[in-house]
Amino acid sequence: MEKPLTGNFRPDKTAVSLPEYERAGGYQGLRKALAMEPAEVTELIKRSNLRGRGGAGFPTGTKWSFVPMGKEAPHPKYLVANADEMEPGTFKDRALMERDPHQLIEGLIVSAYAIEADIGYIFLRGEYECSNQRLSRAIAEAKASNYLGRNILGSGYSLEIHLHASAGRYICGEETALLNALEGKRAHPRAKPPFPQVCGLWGKPTIVQNVETLCNVHHIVDKGPDWFRGLSRTEDGGTKLFGVSGKVRRPGLWELPMGTPLREILEEHAGGMRDGLHFRGLLPGGASTDFLVEEHLDTPMDYGNVQKAGSRLGTGTMVVLDDQTCPVGMVWNLEHFFAQESCGWCTPCWSGLAWTEKILFAMEQGRGTARDLDTLMFQTKFLAPGNTFCAFAPGAVEPLQSALKYFAGDFRRHIDEQRCPWR
């Protein structure tokens, strides 16, 4: 199968140089895009069925179509790559940036051209020092070759890209909190509407897009939307980077067709569970998704089918739970992280998550009570969509609500035995 995202990856994990990237067809998508009208590029992306790879899965071309265009549109416009990869269990964007940085840069330039953006930003997780170094070098190479800067390739289009290292907050995965951070403010989410496409960075039209999403764009322009849809096993176009962590034989990251079944990823690519361990469940798209269990292993990994199974595709990087790991302890560890990372903007989130974390910690310490189960179930409703300012808290309780459903016996054992049975 074709692997447009990882086809240039070198076995030694070093970055692809600009000459190597060009020999592999790099920047051909940019050349083709510059020969089109911006609206034509957006139309190609719409027809490709590319959906956002950062977690929400919103159709990319549709998102771009909300940006004001033409002579009367406000300027400057901004295109921001969200490279602040803070979701526990997720490491796909890091691989793309470290091993093929020009792919992100080309995708960002083509996307910026489609919305007539003047300035691009890469909002990078602060701990990603290797990505920082390799992206900085690639940006300099692109400028020296006139892929960036004034009058790109003689087209009349100009773009500058700035690399910004984040201070490191999970909430920056929420696009408006990211924009506040980029403006030098506290990373609090903004009220919507207005949406960033109309009023974003410094009050100007802005698109915020995930790294993996952007890396697909120039391939679509170069080879066409029909080719991109043909890479998938489902109606969602393209390939997807799927990752597996946990006690499997071969944890890692693979580029596979969108719609590849969970069982195939877990057993054929990750090698199944380690000797002596049995599968109990997994979080299919990072920490802020609902557990799926044995009955769901034949689910195609795409947005619609994972949702039908009761979870979300999210980032497509799954965290596996085995039968020798305490599910209550696993959920407590996640809720501890989310409670720490709450921005504090709304009471249900900062108070509710802290309360939830304390109850789960007490259970792990042998101090749980029967009423705690009712309280935890209440929290999953109290922090549900519509009750908080942004999607942070609803995502944070997804592993909890599904654990209470699928691992109820484990919670009761903690209470009945007044201890963690796995210790």
Shared-domain flag, residues 124 and 255: no
Q: What is the CATH number of the domain that holds 305?
A: 3.10.20.600
Q: Please state the domain count of the chain.
A: 3
Residue 220 has pLDDT above 90, yes or no: yes
Supply the pLDDT for residue 411. Answer: 97
Supply the pLDDT for residue 236. Answer: 92
- 107 with 228: CB under 8 angstroms? no
**Antiparallel, parallel or unpaired: β 252-257 and 239-245:** antiparallel
Entry field: residues in the chain: 423
Give residue 398's Cα distance to chain centre.
Answer: 16
Supply the pLDDT for residue 237. Answer: 92
409: tokens are 């016996």
Closest CA to 178 of 224, 121, 229: 121
CB atoms within 10 A of CB 154: 8
Supply the pLDDT for residue 168. Answer: 75
Supply the pLDDT for residue 89. Answer: 87
* Helix (H/G/I), strand (E/B), else coil: 386: coil
Percent of the chain with pLDDT over 70: 100
Helical residues (DSSP H) of 24-76, grouped into ranges: 28-34, 38-48, 60-64
Shared-domain flag, residues 159 and 115: yes
Cis peptide leading into 205, omega within 30 of 0? no
Residue 417 has pLDDT above 80, yes or no: yes
Shared-domain flag, residues 152 and 167: yes
Shared-domain flag, residues 190 and 317: no
Q: Which of 215, 231, 247 is the last residue of a domain?
A: 231
Determine the residue type at 281: G
Supply the pLDDT for residue 312. Answer: 95
Domain span including residue 399 = 327-417
Q: b/e for 320-354, b at 16 or more Cβ within 10 A?
A: bbbeeebbbbbbbbbbbbbbebbbebbebbbebbe
Cβ burial of 404 (10 Å; 0-12, 13-18, 19+) is buried
Beta-bridged to residue 161, according to DSSP, are 120
Q: What is the CATH number of the domain that holds 331?
A: 1.20.1440.230
| Structural domain includes residue 3 | no
Give residue 154's Cα distance to chain centre.
Answer: 34
Least confident of 88-92, 205-209, 252-256, 300-304: 88-92
> For residues 204 and 139, what is the distance between their CA atoms, to the nearest angstrom?
24
Shared-domain flag, residues 100 and 223: yes
**Mean pLDDT to the nearest integer, 345-366:** 94
Residue 57 — very low, low, confident or very high, per pLDDT cuts 50/70/90? confident
**Mean pLDDT to the nearest integer, 37-48:** 97
- Residue 113 φ then ψ, to 5°: -60, -40
Shared-domain flag, residues 68 and 210: yes
Q: What angle separates helix 327-341 from helix 347-364, to the nearest 10 degrees?
A: 150
Beta-bridged to residue 257, according to DSSP, are 239
> For residues 373 and 191, what is the distance between their CA atoms, to the nearest angstrom?
33
CA dihedral for 207, 208, 209, 214, sign (positive or negative): positive
| Structural domain includes residue 2 | no
Supply the pLDDT for residue 26. Answer: 96
| Structural domain includes residue 5 | no
| Structural domain includes residue 334 | yes
Looking at residue 59, what DSSP letter applies? B
Beta-bridged to residue 123, according to DSSP, are 82, 164
Contacts of 211 by beta carbon, 8 Å cutoff, 6+ apart: 53, 81, 82, 83, 85, 93, 96, 97, 104
Q: Which of 231, 260, 281 is the last residue of a domain?
A: 231
Supply the pLDDT for residue 322. Answer: 97
Question: How do residues 192-202 score in pLDDT, each as one tens digit?
Answer: 999 999 999 99
Residue 345 has pLDDT above 90, yes or no: no
Cis peptide leading into 251, omega within 30 of 0? no
Question: How do residues 237-258 score in pLDDT, each as one tens digit?
Answer: 999 999 999 999 999 999 999 9
Q: Which of 231, 253, 275 is the last residue of a domain?
A: 231
Least confident of 70-79, 232-241, 242-251, 385-394: 385-394
Least confident of 170-174, 228-232, 402-406: 170-174
* Helix (H/G/I), strand (E/B), else coil: 104: helix
Shared-domain flag, residues 300 and 404: no
| Structural domain includes residue 75 | yes
> For residues 5 and 421, what is the distance between their CA atoms, to the nearest angstrom?
44
CB atoms within 10 A of CB 365: 13
Percent of the chain with pLDDT over 90: 90
**Mean pLDDT to the nearest integer, 167-180:** 89
| Structural domain includes residue 145 | yes
| Structural domain includes residue 393 | yes
Supply the pLDDT for residue 173. Answer: 86
- 85 with 126: CB under 8 angstroms? no
Shared-domain flag, residues 171 and 84: yes
Residue 112 has pLDDT above 90, yes or no: yes
Q: What is the CATH number of the domain that holds 58?
A: 3.40.50.11540
Our CA dihedral for 216, 217, 221, 224, rounded to 10 degrees, sits at: 40
Shared-domain flag, residues 186 and 222: yes
| Structural domain includes residue 1 | no
Shared-domain flag, residues 60 and 195: yes
Shared-domain flag, residues 97 and 25: yes
40: tokens are 């034509």
Shared-domain flag, residues 297 and 313: yes
